[in-house]
Structure 1
Amino acid sequence: MTEAIAFTPGNYHYMRGVRQYSCGVAADPGYRLERVRFSRPVPLKEGFRRVAAHLQAIGRPLTAFAACELRSPAPFTEDGFRAFNDVYIGTLKDWGIYAEGGDNPVARSNVCPEFDKPAEPSLHAFSYTAAHAGAARSFVIAGSAEAAEGKGDYRDNCIRLGDTSREGLLEKGRWVLGEMSRRMAALGFAWGDTTAAQLYTVHPIQHVMAQEMAPHGVVRHGVDWHFNRPP
């Protein structure tokens, strides 16, 4: 089992992921993760400015930035995705969170709304650590599509590429649930510890919810379904 890694400047631990994000974060003892959601997605540069202003206003360092939820206008090409990540990571470098050649501790999801698309990559929500004596343990797991990460081209590693049949969606869903469970376990959590779950798809997956998600306790607090495509 992969062990969580301390990111002391941010007062949280993370599970190592890929260059652009970690697989998940958990607040250290004496801290909790708090989430802020914008009423509408904010263009990335302005969104980061607002994040910095918020953290500074409450006396938290920029390194307390622990997770973010992004919205993009359309799926990227592989080259476009790399270029976008170079810009995104540049901010994390400036904030003292990411060092070239090291890990990226910040968890992330990035999806493309089917309707009401943003004009450019934007920030939908973010999470950060705040001091709170005696706080219950809290965590955020990064989003995952049905493809193993860190193996190069996502297309070449996608579970049942292009298959949106009931059986294909069931296998995709089963793989994603397994990956989410693995990430939580690495941080010391399980589905019974969750307080919210977000689902991203434009396909009918009620049978996946009934056969896989509900039996594992994923929907114990309901599911926040976002009608979005992967990036």
Structure 2
Amino acid sequence: MPLIDHPLGGYRFLPGIAPYSCGVISAPGFEIVHVTLHRPAPYRRGFEVIGRHLASEGRPKAALCGIELRSPCPFSFGGFAEFNAGYARILEEWGLFVEGVNPVARTNVAPEVDPPGEPVLYGFSYSRPCDPLLPATIVVAGAGELPEGVLGAEGIVRAGDTSPEGIAVKATFVMNLMEHRLRGLGRDWSTVTAIDIYTIHPIGRLLPEVILGRVGEAGAHGIRWYYSRPPIDGIEYEMDLRGVRTELRIG
């Protein structure tokens, strides 16, 4: 799919499925800023936090281009669809959709230890003006071992296989998907500043070849491993990426 311009957002996006886009890249003269909430907020109230922050930066709601959520536990596919419907209504109320297409990238995972009691907002990304000579910045949405555009149990790669070999196959599939999204945004691993992995399965054996061996100079920034499950029951391994200059922590 070709990149789509957000007419008011200061970014372009790679279309995905109804709940989220596959990723975003800043438009010329803008950068994407990544924000982490020191204390995650219930996700509906979290949008109030986002609104206040954007207002303080002089940015419109349309500048919001990335959302990171944490859930109490993985959803069933049906439960995930129900949650996504409510989430999408908020984005629509904010006027973020572009000709009916959701432009906002998203990651939603379930911490295995001390999970929240309800879905919470952990972080978000937005665009703001910058020196037009600076390179573009990006956010790649989270994805697990499901083919692009598929949201059904029949698509899970090596479904039910949590052996070391099975997890390696899943991780390789997700790495390929991340690279595909990077290319879709017109970028490559050299532009990535943060690589996040979400799984409860050991990743030590994956690091040399499956992950670090493929990311090149991006490996200098390390890997963040969140001991969390992907958002849907039956999916075992998820990643997301970003390449930004500005990281903020609020709250």
Please give the TM-score of this superposition, normalised by the length of structure 2. 0.88
Answer whether contact 2:77 2:151 (CA < 8 A) is retained.
Answer: no
**Is residue 2:45 matched to residue 1:39?**
no
> Which sits farther off after the overlay, 38-47 or 13-22?
38-47
SS across alignment from 1:110: strand
Question: What RMSD in Å do the two structures reach over aligned CA positions?
Answer: 1.3
Cα offset, 1:220, TM superposition: 2.8
Identity %: 39
The corresponding residue for 1:202 is 200
The corresponding residue for 1:225 is 225
SS across alignment from 1:86: helix
Cα offset, 1:111, TM superposition: 0.2
Answer whether contact 1:151 1:157 (CA < 8 A) is retained.
Answer: yes
- Identify if the C-alpha distance between structure 1 residues 188 and 149 changes in structure 2 by more than 3 Å, giving closer, same or farther: closer
The corresponding residue for 2:67 is 68
Distance 1:149 1:85 in 2: 17
Distance 2:19 2:65 in 1: 13
SS across alignment from 1:69: strand
Q: Which 4+ runs in 1 deviate beyond 6 A?
A: none
Cα offset, 1:75, TM superposition: 0.8
Please give the TM-score of this superposition, normalised by the length of structure 1. 0.95
Distance 1:34 1:116 in 2: 28
Q: How does 1:1-231 map to 2 (within 5 A)?
A: 2-98=1-97, 102-133=100-131, 134-153=133-152, 155-217=153-215, 219-231=219-231
Cα offset, 1:90, TM superposition: 1.0
Distance 2:208 2:220 in 1: 12
Answer whether contact 1:214 1:220 (CA < 8 A) is retained.
Answer: no
Answer whether contact 1:111 1:228 (CA < 8 A) is retained.
Answer: yes
Answer whether contact 1:89 1:98 (CA < 8 A) is retained.
Answer: no
Distance 1:4 1:220 in 2: 29
Count of equivalent residues: 228
Answer whether contact 2:68 2:107 (CA < 8 A) is retained.
Answer: yes
Letter matched to residue 210 of structure 2: E
Answer whether contact 1:17 1:23 (CA < 8 A) is retained.
Answer: yes
Answer whether contact 2:197 2:226 (CA < 8 A) is retained.
Answer: yes
SS across alignment from 2:118: coil
Cα offset, 1:150, TM superposition: 2.6
Deviations 1:101-124 (A, max 9, x none): 721100000000001211111110
Letter matched to residue 105 of structure 1: P
Cα offset, 1:214, TM superposition: 1.2
Q: Which runs of 5 or more structure 1 residues have no equivalent in the other structure?
A: none
Q: Which runs of 5 or more structure 2 residues have no equivalent in the other structure?
A: 232-251
